Structure formats: structure tokens, C-alpha cells
């Protein structure tokens, strides 16, 4: 993949850059600006080069229609604060406002266009519809930079089709993310430990299947662990359970045993009578979850065991909270795992999404870890061994 440096002299050039600015909002208040901050290095590099920078991005799932709830206006404000200069904001993506905003840009200035997902063609399965929209984007710029790692696993107009129409390169973020994932998959320093959590095991089946052959140990927590415990014949009370995946989890346990890969499951669980922040927590053995309780976190013994395994590793990848980390009474497992990752003498990677939000919410800084990915889904698909369209199109 070409880098921004490979694009030559960008002074006065109109550079369209696809960023991932899909941040969580409480009304118009941004609750985690991590993805915006991650876009700053590429944007700063382009403005320093004298480019006219046109940012394409999405927010949420507006289902192909303009919706004020998903407007990028608050993001433009925050982006300007981080860049130290105002960011012009267009109220559409390829229409009159976008055209005027881009025309008015001076060298070194930045404009953010409105949510690309307000146009149904952006995510269309019809290639001709996506190509039509990509051609409209391309009229606004001279070159294209792909820096939205969180969307490179999507074949979308602003990610894939636009790259076919303009000279293109990978931005700083996409290059960094790809380099880290190559370190995890090509020849990881060992021991290589993978920590997986989150609610549904079905979301992680492909990555488990692939990593069983490359990781030295898989540590399983979160809601997905109860399907594994059920596969071992244990009762899980009212805990989240995907009954249709019990046999699959059982096959993974057997396969791991045969090939010498460690799958570490919790030995104790923090349970509550209901899914509520106020539900009183109780620590029970993973062998004895009461029928009227549901698992909400891994227990203190398990947190200690997971932490010891993580700290002894040279490479760690973590995706998914260990429990209901947004509830203080059930956040200890996630916090313990996060703290252990900060102590790894090697490469520690937080795999984006809920994990990244959780560590920031729990008070950890981004630089406490080797790398915090901006793309949970993209990271997982890369680790599943899939080809990512948004990366493939840059390989020329």
C-alpha cells in the first residue's frame, strides 16, 4: 500500500480522506472521542503539506436517510478543537453545500461533509449505485486517502469504490492498524494470549476457529463464556446462553485439548438476580451458578488467573469486556484484565469497540497499552483470516 508520502507534493491539492468518526453521542455530547483523536495524525500531516482536506465519515445507522440525530456537526466542532483550527462543515455530502464548502477551502484547511450514510447508495449492495455515488465524491477531490480502519471490512462507496477512481494511499491510522495486525498474525512473539469477551459467542466463532491454530492460550469471559460452561455440562442459571452453539463450543474445547492450545475459562462468577446496576452482586463457583441468578462478570479468582496469564505473555490481543463493565458492581473483571494488559512486556492490543470504550471509561489512558484499535469488527475479520475490501483496493 502507498503511504501519504508516496502521493508527492500535495500543496493546493484537494485530498478526500475517509475517516472513522463514528463516536458515541449522548444527545450532541461526544462521550468518547477516541476515534476522532485517532484521525488527527493523518489530518495534521495533510494540512501541514498544504492540502485542501475533505473528510468523509459516517455516524450511527441512519438507514440511508438524513436524520439530525446522526449529524456529524458535533464531530466537526470537536475535530476543530483537536486540530487547533476551525473545521468547515457541509450540511450534505455531494450536493450544493458540499460543493460550496470545498470550493471555499484554502490550502491547509479542513472540511467535514455530512454523514455519508444519509445517502442509501453508500451502503448499497448494487455496485452501480455505489459507483454512481463514488463518482460524485471523486468530483470533489484530486486524490484519496483511506484512514477509516473501522470500515475497511465494508465494501462501501466511500471506502472501496472511491479508491478505484482516484490516486490513493493508506493514511497513518490504517497503516498503523495493519502493521499491528500483521504482528499478531504473521509471526507473533510468544507466548501469544488472546482474551475474548462480549455478550455473544456467535460473534466470535470465526476468530476462535482461526486463533485456535495460532494462539498459545485463549481466555474466555463475558456473556459468551456461559455457552462454553454449558458445553462442559455446567448449569448457568439465567445467564446469557446461546443453546444452538453449545456443540460448537464443545468441539472447540475438545480441539484445543487435542492440539495443546489452552482455553482458560473462569472458575468463579459474579452473579446478580437481574440485569441491573443496582442488582446485589454475589461471587459463586462457576460449577454452582444458582438457577435464579445470572452471570454478570468473571469472579476475583478468575480475574487473578487471567491477569497472571496475560502478564506472562509477550503478545496479547483482547476483544470484549469480561462482564457488564458499565455497571460498577460488575466491572472488576474488565478492569483487572485491562490493568494486566498495561503490564505486558511486549505487544498489548485492545481490539476496539466495547473494549476500547471500557478501558477509557475505567480511567485508563490510550498510551497505557501498546495499541488500541479503532476497528473492532475490522480487527476481528482480519484475525479470522478474511480479506478486507477496503485494504485490498489499496494494494496496487
C-alpha cell, 28: 450532541
Specify whether 260 is catalytic. no
- Neighbour tally for 106: CB within 10 Å: 8
Q: Is 115 annotated as a binding residue?
A: no
Q: Is 20 annotated as a binding residue?
A: yes
Q: Is 295 annotated as a binding residue?
A: yes
Q: Is 247 annotated as a binding residue?
A: no
Q: Is 58 annotated as a binding residue?
A: yes
Q: Is 291 annotated as a binding residue?
A: no
State the residue for C-alpha cell 494511499. 169
Which entry of 148, 198, 333, 353 is annotated as an active-site residue? 353
Specify whether 35 is catalytic. yes
Could you tell me which of 61, 55, 116 has the C-alpha nearest to residue 88?
55
Q: Is 353 annotated as a binding residue?
A: yes
Q: Is 21 annotated as a binding residue?
A: yes
Q: Is 355 annotated as a binding residue?
A: yes
Q: Is 381 annotated as a binding residue?
A: no
Helix pair angle (353-361, 376-383), 10° resolution: 130
Q: Is 339 annotated as a binding residue?
A: no
- Burial bucket for residue 169 (CB in 10 Å: 0-12, 13-18, 19+): buried
d(CA 379, CA 178): 9
Which entry of 200, 304, 314, 386 is annotated as an active-site residue? 200
Which entry of 35, 121, 130, 335 is annotated as an active-site residue? 35
d(CA 350, CA 330): 20
- Neighbour tally for 266: CB within 10 Å: 28
Specify whether 390 is catalytic. no
- Secondary structure in 3-state letters for 156-188: CHHHHHHHHCCCEEECHHHHHHHHHHHHHHCCC
Please name the helix (run of DSSP H) or strand (run of DSSP E) that holds residue 193, with its range, or none: strand 192-196
Q: Is 380 annotated as a binding residue?
A: no
Q: Helices (H), strands (E): how many in the chain?
A: 13, 17
Which entry of 339, 377, 385, 386 is annotated as an active-site residue? 377
Q: Are 350 and 374 in contact (CB under 8 A)?
A: no
Specify whether 309 is catalytic. no
State the residue for C-alpha cell 452473579. 271
- Neighbour tally for 276: CB within 10 Å: 12
Binding-site residues from annotation for (2R)-3-phosphoglycerate:
35, 117, 154
Binding-site residues from annotation for ATP:
204, 295, 326, 352-355
Catalytic residue positions, numbered: 35, 200, 353, 377
Binding-site residues from annotation:
20-22, 35, 58-61, 117, 154, 204, 295, 326, 352-355
Binding-site residues from annotation for substrate:
20-22, 35, 58-61, 117, 154
Amino acid at each position: 500500500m502507498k503511504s501519504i508520502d508516496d502521493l508527492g507534493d500535495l500543496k493546493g491539492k484537494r485530498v478526500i480522506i475517509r475517516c472513522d468518526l463514528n463516536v458515541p453521542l449522548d444527545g450532541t455530547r461526544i462521550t468518547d472521542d477516541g476515534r476522532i483523536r485517532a484521525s488527527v495524525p493523518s489530518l495534521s500531516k495533510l494540512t501541514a503539506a498544504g492540502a485542501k482536506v475533505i473528510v468523509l465519515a459516517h455516524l450511527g445507522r441512519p438507514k440511508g436517510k438524513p436524520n439530525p440525530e446522526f449529524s456529524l456537526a458535533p464531530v466537526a466542532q470537536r475535530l476543530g478543537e483537536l486540530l487547533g483550527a476551525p473545521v468547515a462543515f457541509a450540511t450534505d455530502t455531494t450536493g450544493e453545500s458540499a460543493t460550496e464548502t470545498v470550493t471555499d477551502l484554502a490550502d491547509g484547511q479542513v472540511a467535514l461533509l455530512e454523514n455519508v450514510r444519509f445517502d442509501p447508495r453508500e451502503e448499497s449492495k448494487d455496485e452501480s449505485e455505489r459507483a454512481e455515488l463514488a463518482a460524485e465524491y471523486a468530483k470533489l477531490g484530486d486524490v484519496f486517502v483511506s484512514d477509516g480502519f473501522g470500515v475497511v471490512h465494508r465494501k462501501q462507496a466511500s471506502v472501496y469504490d472511491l479508491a478505484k477512481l482516484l490516486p490513493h494511499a493508506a493514511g497513518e491510522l490504517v497503516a498503523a492498524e495493519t502493521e499491528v495486525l500483521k504482528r499478531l498474525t504473521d509471526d507473533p512473539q510468544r507466548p501469544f494470549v488472546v482474551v475474548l469477551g462480549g455478550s455473544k459467542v456467535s460473534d466470535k466463532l470465526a476468530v476462535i476457529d482461526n486463533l485456535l491454530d495460532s494462539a498459545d492460550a485463549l481466555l474466555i469471559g463475558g456473556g459468551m463464556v456461559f455457552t462454553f460452561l454449558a458445553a462442559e455440562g455446567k448449569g448457568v442459571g439465567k445467564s446469557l446462553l446461546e443453546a444452538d452453539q453449545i456443540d460448537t463450543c464443545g468441539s472447540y474445547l475438545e480441539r484445543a485439548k487435542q492440539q495443546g492450545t489452552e482455553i482458560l475459562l473462569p472458575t468463579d462468577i459474579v452473579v446478580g438476580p437481574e440485569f441491573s446496576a443496582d442488582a446485589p452482586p454475589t461471587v459463586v463457583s462457576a460449577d454452582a451458578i444458582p438457577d435464579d441468578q445470572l452471570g454478570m462478570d468473571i469472579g476475583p479468582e478468575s480475574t487473578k488467573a487471567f491477569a497472571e496469564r496475560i502478564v506472562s505473555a509477550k503478545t496479547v490481543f483482547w476483544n470484549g469486556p469480561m462482564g457488564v463493565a458499565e455497571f460498577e458492581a460488575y466491572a472488576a473483571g474488565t478492569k483487572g484484565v485491562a490493568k494486566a494488559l498495561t503490564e505486558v512486556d511486549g505487544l498489548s492490543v485492545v481490539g476496539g469497540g466495547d473494549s476500547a470504550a471500557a478501558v477509557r471509561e475505567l480511567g485508563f489512558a490510550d498510551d497505557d497499552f501498546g495499541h488500541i484499535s479503532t476497528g473492532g469488527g475490522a480487527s476481528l475479520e482480519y484475525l479470522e483470516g478474511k480479506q478486507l475490501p477496503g485494504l485490498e483496493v489499496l494494494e496496487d
